[in-house]
């Protein structure tokens, strides 16, 4: 599968550069920017696998982000080592996804979108009201602290590692029978089913894989953030990040999330000064791109080529 | 535990609120029926009307109910234009494009509210919105009764419109099959634009009365979208009786969970009802039964 072609050689060089980047002593700002890029990239490419390739437009990815972040917080409070916590929180997100898959995956199209939105909204309300302890400073609307400090350089490498794994996994899935099945389901579920694609199984696998990676990368992000709070973990802004990055890059294209995530990181830095306006501007960008170039930047490039 | 009269009072309030919730649901049902898309900004348009009526009241001193005189035509125009120039285009791209378009409209509206009207909770407080009727030991705010009466009038007017007028019949025909409607000479493009215009008129009407009854914040729209969706799921597309039943169920869920567990849990239980309704009804709704 992986031969020595000019493209692969270039990617290898790029990877090597990213690996030695923290050793160059460039300052935390650029390290943070790249770290953010890895996080946004994994979230977007996973959402893209779900929405762009499998036709499951989920508006409830924050559920997995939130579940993973809360698991991370609770496990760290119990005194487990951070690395183990990251893995367990990914597994918890995947397990939660498995549970809700049985009702959700019976719904199609719009109903799936609304179902996922409803679940993430329900979780947000649940965690805002949930108070297992008597202490007023934690849980509820105040959220929980992340009781571990891992240096940014270390987190950078973990995020890069997850990023590389997810790229290989995506390529593997999209070139496999499983990936073909997913795309067949997206284009016409009934026809795919009558050709012998077990549509429920395919959708279940992809949904669980996506939620596992979403959970893992989210827990890495919150390990950096240091605090978990229901309004931010289950917030609409996470959905917006995935949506805008996928739409700009091109929904249903492999290269789209690479470009889209980079633009979103850049956009966030630009718009940081205008806190009130930033989501309005992002919304307008999505509107304009969907109406003018529905396949995003990659769509435009491919049409020209 | 909760005193008996409080429980009875909240059941009555839930039923009274149900009428307005039915109207909110019917707005969503109209667009879903005709275009087979869910307008994710439905709740935010409702809150937009709450805020516009609030500004009319606080700046110009106009009563919220009278402000409907210009809110209704304005909302119709917005709906018509939105469908004609934006949603129509996205409908042709692929089935998921309208979803993303209405989602971003919802985000834009929510953040505009936040920018213009600040995050504080607001309400339309008038002389009549504070009166309550006493049936000892239960007290019922007058506005809840007005809500139910207004809602029933709207539902029956809408029913008459859909049954008697050409446009109403055209809307119903397009919601059964827009291809067949197109074949018999209905201008489906115009019908879709009218349907969204009508849906936004309903959101203006229900928005003003919701504003008179309950407080609202910039993010209340999500709550009303979920309620509308619950009503649509329980009641089915275009069914008036079904929508009223759905509205009452959603109303009771809200008031009862509020009384029994506290106001924070209201949305949680609405979500649970919606998920149950989605499970039982989503296939039937798609097939249009």
Tally of CB atoms within 10 A around B198: 25
Q: Which residue has the higher pLDDT, A10 or B209?
A: B209
Rounded to the nearest integer, the mean pLDDT of chain A is 89
Provide the shortest C-alpha distance from residue A62 to chain B (in Å): 15
Kindly indicate the confidence band of residue A136, based on its pLDDT and cuts at 50, 70 and 90: low
Whether B81 has its CB under 8 Å from any CB of chain A: the answer is no
Question: Cβ contacts (< 8 Å) between A291 and chain B: which residues?
Answer: 86, 89-90, 101
* B275·A290 Cβ contact <8 A: no
The DSSP bridge pattern shows strands B138-141 and B132-135 to be antiparallel
- Residue A101, domain member (yes or no): yes
Smallest CA–CA distance from A118 into chain B, residue: B271
Tell me how many domains chain B contains. Answer: 1
Between A141 and B219, whose confidence is greater?
A: B219
Residue in A with minimal Cα distance to B272: A122
Over residues A187-241, the pLDDT tens digits come to: 888 888 888 888 889 999 999 999 999 999 999 999 998 889 888 899 888 999 9
Q: Which residues contact A166 (CB under 8 A, 6 or more apart)?
A: A42, A45, A46, A213
The beta-carbon neighbor of A240 closest among B93, B107, B229 is B107
Interchain CB contact of B265 with A (< 8 Å) = yes
Burial degree of B249 (CB within 10 A; 0-12, 13-18, 19+): buried
Say what angle helices B166-176 and B188-213 make with each other, to 10 degrees: 100
B132 CA: distance to closest CA in chain A (Å)? 31
Under 8 Å between Cβ of B237 and B136 = no
What pLDDT does residue B277 have?
86
Q: What percent of chain B has a predicted confidence (pLDDT) above 90?
A: 44
Q: Chain A residue with minimal CA distance to B273?
A: A118
d(CA B61, CA A235): 36
**Nearest Cα to A299, choosing from A259, A267, A243?**
A259
Range of the domain at A59: 30-131+138-236
Question: In total, how many domains does chain A have?
Answer: 1
* Distance spanning both ends of chain A, measured CA to CA: 25
Per-residue pLDDT tens over the stretch B169-226:
998 888 888 888 888 888 888 888 999 999 999 999 999 999 999 999 998 898 899 9
3 state DSSP class of A26: coil
Taking only the tens place, the pLDDT of each residue in B10-44 is 899 999 999 999 999 999 998 888 888 888 999 99
Q: How confident is residue A70, by pLDDT bands cut at 50, 70 and 90?
A: very high
Separation between Cα atoms, residue B22 and residue B150, nearest integer Å:
11
CB contact under 8 A, B278 and A121: no
Q: What percent of chain A has pLDDT over 90?
A: 46
What mean pLDDT do residues B46-66 have?
A: 91
Supply angle C-alpha B183, B186, B192, rounded to 5.
115
pLDDT one-digit tens code per residue, B233-256: 888 887 888 899 999 999 999 999
pLDDT at B129 over 90: no
Q: A3 pLDDT band (50/70/90 cuts)?
A: low
Is the pLDDT confidence value at B92 over 90? Answer: no
Which parts of B56-187 fold into alpha helices (H)?
64-82, 88-93, 97-117, 142-164, 166-176, 178-183
Of A74, A93, A79, the closest CA to residue A234 belongs to A93
Q: How far is B61 from chain A (nearest CA, A)?
A: 28
Q: How far apart are CA A233 and CA A65, in angstroms?
A: 6
Categorize the per-residue pLDDT at B112 as very low, low, confident or very high, splitting at 50, 70 and 90: very high
Q: Does B116 touch chain A (CB under 8 A)?
A: no
CA nearest to A50, candidates A237, A192, A288, A257 = A257
Per-residue pLDDT at B283 = 63
B118 CA: distance to closest CA in chain A (Å) = 10
Interface predicted TM-score (ipTM):
0.87
Pairing mode of beta strands B132-135, A144-145: unpaired
Domain containing residue B63: CATH number: 1.10.3470
What average pLDDT does this structure show over B50-54?
94
Q: Which of A188, A287, A292, A299 to mutate to test the interface with B (most CBs of B within 10 A)?
A: A287
Of A117, A142, A188, which to mutate for an interface test with B (greatest number of B Cβ within 10 Å)?
A117
At B109, list the tokens: 């509206």
Instruction: Give the domain extent around B263.
Output: 4-286
Q: Is residue A49 part of a domain?
A: yes
Q: Please tell me the predicted confidence (pLDDT) of residue A142.
A: 78
d(CA B274, CA A242): 25
Decide if B114 touches A, using CB distance below 8 A.
yes
């Amino acid at each position: 599968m992986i031969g020595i072609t000019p493209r692969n050689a270039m990617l290898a060089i790029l990877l090597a550069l990213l690996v030695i980047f923290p050793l160059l002593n460039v300052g935390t700002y650029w390290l943070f920017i790249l770290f953010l890029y890895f996080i946004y990239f994994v979230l977007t490419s996973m959402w893209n696998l779900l929405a762009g390739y499998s036709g499951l437009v989920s508006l409830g990815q924050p559920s997995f982000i939130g579940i993973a972040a809360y698991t991370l917080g609770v496990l760290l409070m119990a005194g487990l080592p951070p690395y183990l916590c990251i893995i367990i929180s990914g597994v918890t997100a995947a397990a939660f996804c498995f549970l809700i898959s049985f009702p959700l995956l019976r719904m199609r199209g719009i109903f799936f979108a609304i179902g996922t939105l409803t679940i993430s909204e329900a979780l947000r309300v649940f965690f805002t009201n949930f108070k297992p302890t008597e202490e007023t400073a934690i849980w509820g609307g105040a959220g929980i602290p992340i009781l571990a400090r891992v240096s940014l350089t270390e987190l950078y490498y973990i995020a890069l590692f997850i990023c590389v794994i997810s790229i290989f996994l995506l390529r593997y899935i999209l070139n496999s029978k499983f990936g073909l099945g997913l795309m067949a389901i997206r284009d016409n579920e009934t026809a795919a089913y009558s050709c012998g694609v077990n549509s429920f199984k395919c959708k279940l696998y992809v949904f669980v894989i996506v939620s596992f990676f979403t959970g893992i990368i989210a827990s890495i992000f919150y390990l950096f953030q240091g605090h978990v709070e229901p309004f931010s973990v289950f917030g609409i802004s996470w959905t917006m990040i995935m949506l805008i990055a996928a739409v700009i890059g091109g929904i249903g294209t492999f290269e789209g999330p690479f470009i889209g995530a980079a633009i979103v990181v850049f956009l966030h830095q630009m718009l940081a000064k205008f806190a009130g306006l930033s989501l309005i501007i992002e919304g307008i960008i999505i509107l304009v791109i969907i109406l003018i170039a529905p396949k995003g930047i990659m769509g435009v490039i491919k049409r020209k080529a | 535990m909760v005193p008996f009269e409080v429980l009875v009072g909240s059941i009555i309030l839930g039923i009274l609120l149900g009428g307005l919730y039915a109207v909110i649901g019917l707005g969503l049902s109209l667009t879903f029926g005709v275009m087979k898309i869910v307008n994710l900004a439905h709740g935010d348009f409702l809150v937009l009307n709450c805020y516009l009526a609030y500004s009319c009241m606080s700046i110009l001193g106009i009563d919220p109910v009278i402000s409907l005189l210009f809110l209704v035509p304005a909302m119709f125009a917005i709906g018509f234009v939105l469908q004609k120039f934006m949603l129509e285009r996205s409908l042709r791209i692929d089935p998921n494009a309208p979803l993303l378009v209405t989602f971003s409209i919802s985000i834009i509206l929510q953040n505009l509210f936040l920018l213009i009207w600040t995050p504080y909770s607001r309400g339309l407080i008038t002389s009549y919105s504070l009166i309550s009727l006493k049936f000892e030991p239960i007290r019922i705010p007058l506005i809840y009764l007005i809500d139910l009466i207004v809602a029933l009038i709207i539902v029956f007017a809408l029913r008459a419109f859909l049954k008697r007028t050409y446009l109403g019949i055209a809307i119903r025909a397009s919601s059964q099959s827009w291809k067949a409607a197109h074949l018999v000479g209905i201008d489906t493009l115009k019908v879709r634009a009218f349907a969204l215009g009508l849906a936004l008129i309903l959101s203006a009407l229900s928005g003003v009365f919701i504003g008179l009854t309950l407080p609202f914040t910039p993010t209340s729209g999500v709550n009303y979208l979920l309620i509308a969706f619950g009503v649509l799921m329980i009641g089915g597309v275009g069914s008036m009786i079904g929508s009223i039943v759905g509205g009452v169920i959603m109303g009771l869920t809200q008031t009862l969970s509020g009384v029994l567990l506290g106001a924070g849990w209201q949305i949680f239980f609405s979500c649970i009802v919606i998920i149950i309704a989605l499970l039982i009804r989503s296939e039937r709704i798609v097939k249009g039964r």
